[in-house]
Amino acid sequence: MHPTAKTDSTSARFTRRAFLGAMGAGAAVVALDLDAAVAAAQRARAEGTLANNFGRVFNLPPFAEATPQVKAALTEMGRLGGIMDAKDPLHEGPIRLITNPELSPNNRDNPFHTAGTTFLGQFLDHDMTFDTTSPLGVPTPPERSPNSRTPVFDLDSVYGGGPGPNPQFYNADRVTFRLESGGLFEDLPRAADGRAIIADGRNDEHLMIAGMHAAFMSFHNRVVERLRAQGTPSLLLFATARRTVTWHYQWIIVHEFLPLIVGRPLVDHIFRFGRQFYRPAGAPVIPVEFQVAYRFGHSMVRPSYRANLAGDNGQPFFGFIFDPAGQGQADPVDLRGGARARRRFIGWQTFFDFGDGQVRPNKRMDTRISTPLFQLPLQAIPSGDPPISLPQRNLLRHLTWSLPSGQRLAATMGIPQVDTSELAAFGFEQNAPLWYYVLKEGQALGDGIQLAGVGARLVGEVFVGLLQKDPGSYLNGQPSWRPTLPSRTPGTFTMVDLLTFAKVDPASRGQ
């Protein structure tokens, strides 16, 4: 992939041009001035505002001080029924909110993304970053908050430390993963209290992410079967299987996920001309600007999903992603994790396109968030404490990291600013919190189909940078590598191919 890829900034000798990218017919066209990024990066380095150390990209002042007044304004922005609430009519029930999208005019579907894009994105997040120490809304230097995940795409969220340090995740052969059954199909291994026995407990927050984790475990086990059949020596089985799984996963990131989120033209530009802003001198780090901007995925979450087609006594299992009524239920009415029952599995044809007409879209990347996310169950919050509104938590995180405003980042990166005058009532019309600003860019410049501006550049460069700076990635180890596992199109590999090879696809299950 990209044999001429640059890992850092190249000189600004190439001619001025614009990359025009569209995700398909009807999608918004986003113009990216390529020379603007190069010039802005050179200017930022000269001014000393390009940091790339201690988990920051930029040395810039915070968008606001962490005063009680600012905290109150952010809390008001992110409250249930507030400016960011899509105000989905939950009384209509989980089925009608899927079959009748006109019931939620503030929460539009994204016709170019499938519902699974959301949860693949969450799975990637859990693979590269986990902050367990920084207090919400209290200014904290990033270097004092260690990342509990390795900041690369190596699936340590699944493999943990491997069979030696973490034998509880593996079968007695110390090569394959433990998988259990929920009654019909695969489930994560669980303790007596229902707690998932996995490397990252966040991957049991809800049914979709638990299903994704289990699918990757099954994928690994099938790769082991294939390698055994090919005569791979037993001492090499685990390492070879892990590399095979990880490289196919990284291929999906580069060729499927990232183009959907930031657009293929920007991905190609970063590979061809280098990263302009994310340029850590040593080992890869997760910059806090990216950590917050990447929460754009919360706007893609639907209020409700069809988990499977026939798991609920032969009928489809529909549920809100979170519903307060599910609290304390053995088989919750919603799709929260931490429970086991026959109907609690994922039928992947709802989430990825197997060509059977069953796939459903996710929501657009905009400033409206599905209403259930304003009422999280405490078990879905790693720290286990309030606030239970996910938007409030995201906004208060800006104070934790003393983040610059979206406008300040746009100016520093040489990107035209979007209007956020709707935040005047909160005092942020000229200094919008970065997360909100990234969503507004997607809404105003990308019609909610893909990220644009600051958000696209941050996400694109950090993703590519994490892969380029990982000595174990295929981009470093074998840049010309192509997928080797069976796929619908030889030489490439998608999430549908992964799920099919793992035998968790509709055909393998017979439903």
Listed in sequence order, the DSSP H helices in 324-417 are: 390-400, 406-412
Residue type, 105: P
Sequence-distant (6+) residues with CB within 8 A of 96 are 103
Structure confidence at residue 31 (pLDDT)? 45
- DSSP-assigned letter for residue 369: B
Residue with tokens 């610059």: 404
Rg over CA atoms, the chain: 22
Helix (H) or strand (E) holding 434: helix 434-446
- 85, β-bridge pairs: 369
Concatenating the DSSP letter of every residue in 244-304 gives HHHHHHHHHIIIIIHHHHH-HHHHHHHHHH--SS---SSS----HHHHHHGGGGGGG--SE
Name the 3-class secondary structure at 196.
strand
pLDDT the model gives residue 380: 73
How many CB atoms are closer than 10 A to CB 231? 6
Whether residue 473 contacts residue 480, with contact meaning beta carbons closer than 8 Å, is answered with no
DSSP code for 13: T
How buried is residue 390: exposed, middle or buried, by Cβ count under 10 Å (0-12/13-18/19+)? buried
> What is the per-residue burial (b if ≥16 Cβ within 10 Å, else e) of 157-183?
bbbbeebeeeeebbeeeebbbbbeebe
Q: Exposure of 11 by Cβ count < 10 A (0-12 exposed, 13-18 middle, 19+ buried)?
A: exposed
Angle between helices 68-77 and 390-400 (to 10 degrees): 150
CA-nearest of 251, 256, 152, 249 to 465 is: 152
Distances (CA, A) of 464 to 199, 266, 415: 25, 11, 20
| pLDDT value, residue 7 | 57
Q: Which two tokens stand for residue 265?
A: 């033209």
Which residues sit opposite 317 in a β-bridge? 308
What is the Cα–Cα distance from 32 to 20, expressed in whole angstroms? 7
Contacts of 99-102 with C-beta under 8 Å, sequence gap 24+, read none
Full DSSP string of 144-182 = GS-BSS-SSSS-HHHHTT-TTT-GGGB-TTSSSBP-EES
Element (H, E) at 437: helix 434-446
Q: What is the pLDDT at residue 467?
A: 96
Tens place of pLDDT for every residue, the chain, 511 residues? 564 466 554 333 333 233 333 333 333 434 445 557 666 666 766 766 545 445 899 999 999 999 999 999 999 999 999 999 999 999 999 999 999 999 999 999 999 999 999 999 999 999 999 888 888 999 998 887 888 888 999 999 999 999 999 999 999 999 999 999 988 899 999 999 999 999 999 999 999 999 999 999 999 999 999 999 999 999 999 999 999 999 999 999 999 999 999 999 999 999 999 999 999 988 889 999 999 999 999 999 999 999 999 999 999 999 999 999 999 999 999 999 999 999 999 999 999 999 999 999 999 999 999 999 999 987 777 777 789 999 999 999 999 999 999 999 999 999 999 999 999 999 999 999 999 999 999 999 999 999 999 999 999 999 999 999 999 999 988 999 999 999 999 999 999 999 999 999 999 998 8
pLDDT of the residue at 52: 46
Q: Where are the beta strands (DSSP E) in 34-169?
A: 50-53, 56-58, 109-114
User: Under a CB-based contact definition with an 8 Å cutoff, are residues 174 and 163 in contact?
Assistant: yes
Q: How many CB atoms lie within 10 A of CB 91?
A: 6
pLDDT score for 148: 85
Q: Kindly report the pTM of this predicted structure.
A: 0.91
HSE (CB half, 13 Å, CA atoms) of 187?
Answer: 23
Give the span between the Cα atoms of 368 and 296, in whole angstroms: 11
